[in-house]
Amino acid sequence: MEKKILLANIETPDFGKFETFRKQGGYAAVEKALKTMSPENVVDEVKKSGLRGRGGAGFPTGLKWSFIDKSTNNPRYLLCNADEGEPGTFKDHYLILKNPHLLIEGMILSSFALGANTAYIFLRGEWFYLMKILDQAIEEAYAKGYLGKNILGTDFSLDLYCHPGGGAYICGEETALIEALEGKRGNPRMKPPFPAIKGLYQNPTCVNNVETIAAVPWIINNGGCEYANVGIGKSTGTKLISACGHINKPGVYEIEMGLPVEEFIYSEKYLGGIKNGKKLKAVIAGGSSVPILPTELILKTAKGEPRLLSYESLADGGFETGTMMGSGGFIVMDETTCMVKSLLNYSRFYHHESCGQCSPCREGTGWMEKILHRIEHGQGNMHDIDLLVDIAKHVEGNTICPLGEAAAWPVRSSILHFRKEFEAHVINKKCTFNNG
Amino acid sequence: MNVEQKIIFSEQTLAIVSKIVSHYPEGKQKSALLPVLHIAQAEFGGWLSVPVMDYVASILNILPIEVYEVATFYSMYNTKPVGNCVIEICRTGPCWLCGAEEIISHLESKLKIKAGETTADGKFTIKLVECLADCGNAPVIQVGWDYHGNMTKEKADELIIDFDKNNKVSHKNPYEI
């Protein structure tokens, strides 16, 4: 489980500089693709690799690329989604900081595959210091002939720019990101038409996450089949897991898909166990929007098999006993954590971040927060608990974008697995935990 | 913002704005709105007044309403005056688990203001924010363009002293940091 695809060599001094990156094999995939492959070949290799979108949805990347409308002569765009903002998720932040040229190399290859001559990296606005790092790397790539007109003497040209956001979680949704890039409020668009047909400035557009794009150079260098050999089943390759909360070693880990969750949490090589010798209570495995699981279900599936860090194993059992890989934001909570207060915290987040376009989301997120506030403060009743589940079910699936699900799933899963805590708040008319 | 301050970018800043506009196709200069608002906010006192937003509309050749609706949507833009130093404290999920509430209470009592308020001398504003995406270093605060992780009461005190003693200002043109 030592495979490093995205974070290989990052400890090399000055790895963020062009020359150092180049000496370690960087930009070789661009040379290979532009000089010996067609765009279709690149798409095929990515399809063969089984690479799935690492932003959270897990949609096959090669397939997504093949949806790009090639029937028009309009410009095509590649947008990199670096608007990371899901609580618990900080992998892209780390990847850009440590390996900016890998992202640029991935952008060149992906743009070549899509026939895009202009690409943007949409960074969350708080990250101007990261934008500076990326801008310097982009400047170096232009100077060395890897960006700009007729890259490496070929027919392919690409301009790459960074674009800062304004601080809105919703811009992580691809159509909201496009709206923001057009200088508007980040309101998600109705689909269809999908961005592959009408995206940025109504032109064919592909939006991919940082981690997804950064995996492409390795796939081109080593072949899609080789990438598919890494990992387990349909969860191919490696995954960045950003771990935080009550653990001894928070940080970003590149793991080969299929690593047992128990090993990840307790091994010294990874998280080093729970802080202060406390007991594990629950984990949100894929960023705050995915269902929370209690200890017994995060370590083992309902069938008693070891739970693995893979799309399939994490989802095993469906909503009742499983969760999702999501973005890989791994939030660990110990036995002192109040699940009502924790849920209230996330519900406030989703209420705050709802763009307000759809009534179920705009009203539902605020309503759920309000009810949770009264339960946490001992003013709730038993009916409130069922009412929360009911509201969540009405928000879920009834909104333009997935923020509805993101707000609803934590509510439904927290009550499903920790209902007794909600009831105890109602019965005792107070929170019996004293944390946070 | 000083009321006597003229709302006009310097030649140097206008050159930065022109470069940003050049990143987008002709006629799509509205795309530069978010980055230009970051610059305007930094250069005109850390917040976006109506005259500042009107100025941004004029240089991008768009309607003022197009600027207002964007400025009021995104959490990074302040549409009311703020202090010289804006302390943004993340309070979401992992930061909460790792003690953000304690840091918030400490700063509120130290500066004698509540979150969302500015000290009477106009030096400090406390702003609560949702997820800064640096959860591995929780609890995290952001001051200007700098992230400060693994925050403790002591570290927070040091930051305040540093800004106070050196009359520092947290809002700076992000393209010149």
Chain B, residues 148-177, CB within 8 A of chain A, namely 174-175, 177
Secondary structure of residue A162 in the 3-state scheme: strand
pTM given for the model: 0.96
What pLDDT, on the 0 to 100 scale, is given for residue B4? 57
Q: What is the pLDDT of residues B78-103, one digit of tens each?
A: 999 999 999 999 999 999 999 999 99
pLDDT tens for each residue of B121-163: 999 999 999 999 999 999 999 999 999 999 999 999 999 999 9
Segment A6-35 mean pLDDT: 95
Better-scored residue on pLDDT, A71 or A279: A279
Average pLDDT over residues A343-352: 97
Average pLDDT, chain A: 96
d(CA A436, CA A341) in angstroms, rounded, equals 8
User: Rounded to whole angstroms, how far apart are CA atoms A81 and A100?
Assistant: 14
Cβ atoms within 10 Å, residue B160:
18
| A332: helix, strand or coil | strand
- Closest chain B residue by Cα to residue A94: B134
- Res A372 pLDDT > 50: yes
Instruction: Give the rounded percent of residues in chain A with a pLDDT score beyond 70.
Output: 99
Q: Which helix (H) or strand (E) holds B147?
A: strand B146-148
Predicted local confidence at residue A418, as pLDDT = 97
B98 and A245 in contact by Cβ < 8 A? yes
Say what the pLDDT of residue A70 is.
85
The closest of A180, A184, A182, A206 to A195, measured between CA atoms, is A206
Mean pLDDT within A241-263: 97
> A268-272, A405-409, B4-8: which range is least confident on average?
B4-8
pLDDT at site A71: 86
Look up residue B126 and give its DSSP letter: E
Residue B11 pLDDT grade (very low, low, confident, very high; cuts 50, 70, 90):
very high
Query: For an interface test with A, which of B62, B66, B73 has the most A Cβ atoms less than 10 Å from its Cβ?
Result: B73
As a whole number, mean pLDDT of residues A277-306 equals 97
* Burial state string for A138-155 with b = 16 or more CB within 10 A and e = fewer than 16: bebbbeeebbeeebeeee
Please tell me the predicted confidence (pLDDT) of residue A433: 76
Q: How confident is the model at residue A435 (pLDDT cuts 50, 70, 90)?
A: very low
A306 secondary structure, DSSP code: B
pLDDT exceeds cutoff 50 at A436? no
B positions 28-57 inside 8 Å of A (CB): 28, 30-35, 37-38
The torsion region of residue B109 among left (phi > 0), alpha (psi -120 to 50) and beta comes to alpha
Q: What is the pLDDT of residues A132-179, one digit of tens each?
A: 999 999 999 999 999 999 999 999 999 999 999 999 999 999 999 999
Select from B132, B147, B143, B151 the least CA-distant residue to B170: B143
> How much is the mean pLDDT over chain B?
95
Does the pLDDT of residue A288 top 90, yes or no? Answer: yes
Residue among B69, B133, B136 whose CB faces A251 most closely:
B136
Cβ separation of B34 and A129 shorter than 8 Å?
no
Cross-strand partners of A259: A309
Helix (H) or strand (E) holding A243: strand A238-245
Q: Which residue of B has its CA nearest to A184?
A: B70
Cβ-Cβ contacts under 8 Å, B129 against chain A: 167
